[in-house]
Structure 1
Amino acid sequence: MTLIQKLLWALLKIGGGVFALYLGLIILMYVLQEKLLFLPQPADPQVRRYLQKYQPHALMTTKTSTGESLQGVFVHGEKKPGPLWIYFGGNAENIDYIVHEVRHLKDASFVAFNYRGYGDSEGSPSQRALYQDALHIYDTFSKKEGVDPTQIYVIGRSLGTGMATYLAAHRKVKKVVLISPYSSIRDVAQAHYPFLPVKWLIRHPFPSDKWAKKVDVPLLCVVAERDQVVPRRFSEALFAAWKGQKSMKLVKGYDHNSIIAAPGHWSTIQSFLQEDKK
């Protein structure tokens, strides 16, 4: 074997090793994608004790269409019949904390549930399951006593914007607020893993841009200037796809996680709600 042949053989072995490593990485990503995409947080016993003591009537459970028990909160508004806000939280978010944040929405009732596998909710999350649960929550709580079914408002944050957009495309809602939305999880994942064929791997693409084209109600889109989790271009793509009237608020100096702590965050959302009263 000549020197050139030896070099070629060595290169082939190296190339084969690199290919095998790359293939192994693809398989690993495919198998573990649920653990990478969904980041469930356990229930916080301290927060739960606080709610049980000071807002015991807010704690709520509901059964999904497939029998899993979802844990959440439902706060009655002072106006009856009045509007209902349905909230879909972000990844790694425990919605028990949200009760304190929305305490100023006095007229509106408020409902939010931990996704399957999050907090004390049963089951495992998936695109199909979370979409089904979003419809179930709407169908259940829009019929509650004291809720005006013509005044259903939907808020979604980060991961939850996928469920909010899907719900708005399949049920009658008045307005939608999306905080850090995305065109699709597929797009975001591809940006984070440009060296992998995410398009062919992902089982939970959450194609929000597809559903946004069907929603003809007003949208408030809230985007963080320094968002590194959902880069702004994907929020802008979702915004562009939205069929209905829309406005965007860029929160300067804040990132994906700190955006909800920005001054005026909830008052901006409340103002968007109260525009109907003017």
Structure 2
Amino acid sequence: MVAAALKNTEIPVKGAVLFLPWDSLPDLAQSHYWFLPARLLARDRYNSMENLKNFEGRVAVLLAEEDEIIPIRHGKRLYDSLTMEKKLWIFDGASHNAMPVSPHLSWWKEVMDFVSGQSQNQE
């Protein structure tokens, strides 16, 4: 996962694009398996909030409004925890497997301009 790689890299990273991210794997598991103590049973943490805590680059967070795999609240919780320069994109009506990802779509340029520092828009 990108967040874990950013935590441990010695290579300077100017920005990151988080595509359909989650806050932590135990919290995501608990959403799907609400009837079990899934948060306690999850062995892998994959805690994006913790892994990104000291990242100093820009972060673009892309979420699908109707994501059935990673409910949007997990991505929003991650976004809210970020303290660096960040920007949020929410794709209205999109589901996890129906994100508009064609490289010809205009939002890609907006995202890449943001993470590269060519855009001064901050949210």
CA shift at 1:203, angstroms?
A: 1.5
Give 3-state SS (helix, strand or coil) of 1:261's partner.
coil
CA shift at 1:265, angstroms?
A: 4.6
Aligned partners of 1:180 and 1:224 also within 8 Å? yes
Query: 1 or 2, which has the higher strand percentage?
Result: 1
- Which of 10, 29, 36 is equivalent to 1:189? 29
Any idea what the Cα deviations from partners look like across 1:70-122, whole Å, max 9, x if unmatched? xxxxxxxxxxxxxxxxxxxxxxxxxxxxxxxxxxxxxxxxxxxxxxxxxxxxx
**Paired letter, 1:164:** V
Taking the aligned partners of 1:276 and 1:196, their CA distance within structure 2 comes to: 46
Aligned partners of 2:23 and 2:78 also within 8 Å? yes
1:202 is matched with 42
Aligned partners of 1:212 and 1:242 also within 8 Å? yes
Taking the aligned partners of 1:273 and 1:241, their CA distance within structure 2 comes to: 18
Aligned partners of 2:20 and 2:61 also within 8 Å? yes
Any idea what the Cα deviations from partners look like across 1:150-187, whole Å, max 9, x if unmatched? xxxxxxxxxxxxx2112222223110110111001111
Q: Which runs of 5+ in 1 are unaligned?
A: 1-162
Cα distance change of structure 1 residues 211 and 190 upon mapping to structure 2, 3 Å threshold: same
- Which of 81, 87, 108 is equivalent to 1:266? 108
Cα distance change of structure 1 residues 265 and 255 upon mapping to structure 2, 3 Å threshold: farther
- Which of 214, 223, 226 is equivalent to 2:63? 223
Taking the aligned partners of 1:206 and 1:192, their CA distance within structure 2 comes to: 16
Name whichever of 191-200 and 258-267 sits farther off: 258-267
- Which of 15, 20, 24 is equivalent to 1:180? 20
2:72 is matched with 232
1:165 and 2:3 matched: yes
Name whichever of 189-198 and 268-277 sits farther off: 268-277
Taking the aligned partners of 2:108 and 2:91, their CA distance within structure 1 comes to: 13
Q: Which runs of 5+ in 2 are unaligned?
A: none
Aligned partners of 1:216 and 1:242 also within 8 Å? no
**Paired letter, 2:106:** G
1:253 is matched with 93
**Paired letter, 1:272:** F
**Paired letter, 2:93:** G
Q: Which stretches of structure 1, 4 residues or longer, exceed 4 Å deviation after superposition?
A: none
Percent of aligned pairs sharing the same letter: 27
RMSD: 2.2
The alignment covers a number of residue pairs equal to: 116
Aligned partners of 1:176 and 1:218 also within 8 Å? yes
Cα distance change of structure 1 residues 275 and 216 upon mapping to structure 2, 3 Å threshold: closer
Aligned partners of 1:215 and 1:242 also within 8 Å? no
Taking the aligned partners of 2:76 and 2:119, their CA distance within structure 1 comes to: 29
